[in-house]
Structure 1
Amino acid sequence: MRYFEFDNSLITGIKSIDEQHKYLFSIFDDLMNALSIGSAKNIIYDLLMKLKDYALYHFNDEENLMISINYPDIDFHMEEHNNFKKIVEQYINEYKDTNYSITADTTDFLYSWIRHHILISDKKIVEYLSNKKI
């Protein structure tokens, strides 16, 4: 079942970034599906690790792009990435080390964070690129 749609409002026009965003959304769907059927703790943990690892890969690509175009707000953008990494790592550590449970609300929060980040921060990169080409 699909819980999180990658709609046209999220398209940046940068093909590699858009494909990575779509894949992140598929991980959120996998996590939500696993939660909805009551999957074992190790499956949820593996999906959280997959989310973390892929987010790191994606953020690295975005940061390299920003460096290559001399993006002026790179420090702020990277700080947002670091905040997301810290949040996910905190969830993973609490889930692994305690009886903390990952819920649909947790997944929805992470998804909402990514969606907002794409719509606001990532779109600013696209705007900068568009203005730079003028």
Structure 2
Amino acid sequence: SKLQEWGEEFEEGALYGITLRREPVQIPASPTEARPCIAFVQYRTCKVRRLKAATLNRLVSHLLDPCCQEPDYRRIFLSTYQTFTTTSALIELLFQRWAMSLSYKECDQQDSHVLDESDTLPNCSHRDNGASDVYNSECHRR
């Protein structure tokens, strides 16, 4: 079998299911050599993590993560989220994340000349205070 269920991992408040996947190793062919007849196939084992359970904030972060390597996670999340939250709560959380990402970009552009982190934090204090302060922050009014 190419797939083997391995177990679970718990990391930073999230539960991941672990699957081991066997993949054939590609042997690079040299253009000057004749391709030898290979009587065996080499495999490598890849560890695949799938998010199984977490807080709503963590699930939404994973949903919005562009590096999410689970091709069906978004479809599964969007078809099952109503079992653990309401549509309005999810939309509110998505808008909060969107507003925070916009304010991060804006603050990063405006504070790019500042080298000392302590000078940057007062100007963009909403980074730590949450999305409710985004529109009232000094950084947003500039």
Q: Same fold (TM over 0.5)?
A: no
* Superposition TM-score, scaled by structure 1 size: 0.33
* Superposition TM-score, scaled by structure 2 size: 0.31
- Which is strand-richer, 1 or 2? 2
- Which is helix-richer, 1 or 2? 1
Larger Rg: 2
